[in-house]
Structure 1
Amino acid sequence: MSETTQALDLEDLRTTVADVLDVEEKELTDDAHFVETLGVDSLMALEVMVVLEKKYGVKLREEELKQVTSLRKAYDLLAEKLEAR
């Protein structure tokens, strides 16, 4: 992919997702459930997906997104996608 694609870092991912969701980074723990704990709705989830796809240069399928319920799961999915390239 492009040279501008960022390397995956959990703390950088936390900062990015917290910014998109407009929550404090300390609220976005590794296992905080996006919907149940943070009140993320489908529009916010879509916005996170778009930002992550652009930042990391990956394409996420809808089925994959449904599995991303926490920061840790988002990290694991992105790591898998980046490794597969």
Structure 2
Amino acid sequence: MSETAATALDKEDLRRTVADVLDVDEAELTDEADFVENLGVDSLMALEVMVVLEKKYSVKLGESELKEVTCLQKAYDLLAAKLQDAA
């Protein structure tokens, strides 16, 4: 089942989704680009990203987890762990 969860979470699809919510170019949204420092994301935008990701991937993200997600790679890792646990 974890194989299904891994294939359901595609990093490039995640990149497109987050870039769309943040209204930034996908090229700017590198794996390590800091949402706040590099992309100017404020707390409201971060919350919007989390709501979209929760709906898209059918997971629940806690407030403490929201604070940990500072770049695309961390968002990917968190979602992968959540989907793995759900499998």
Query: Do they fold alike, i.e. is TM over 0.5?
Result: yes
Counterpart amino acid of residue 66 in structure 1: K
- Equivalent residue number for residue 45 of structure 1: 46
- Equivalent residue number for residue 19 of structure 2: 18
Q: SS where residue 38 of structure 1 aligns? A: coil
Normalising to structure 1: TM-score of the pair?
0.92
Q: SS where residue 9 of structure 2 aligns? A: coil
Q: SS where residue 12 of structure 1 aligns? A: helix
The structure whose residues are more often helix, as a share, is: 2
Q: Summarize deviations over 1:18-41 as a string: whole Å, max 9, x none.
A: 000000000000000000000000
- Equivalent residue number for residue 73 of structure 2: 72
CA distance in 1, matches of 2:70, 2:45: 13
Runs of 4+ aligned structure 1 residues displaced above 3 Å come to none
**Residue 65 (structure 1) shift:** 0.7
Counterpart amino acid of residue 50 in structure 2: M
* Structure 1 unaligned spans of 5+: 1-5
- Equivalent residue number for residue 4 of structure 2: none
- Equivalent residue number for residue 29 of structure 1: 30
**Residue 7 (structure 1) shift:** 1.2
* Structure 2 unaligned spans of 5+: 1-6
CA distance in 2, matches of 1:54, 1:7: 14
CA distance in 2, matches of 1:15, 1:9: 10
Normalising to structure 2: TM-score of the pair?
0.90
Q: SS where residue 8 of structure 2 aligns? A: coil
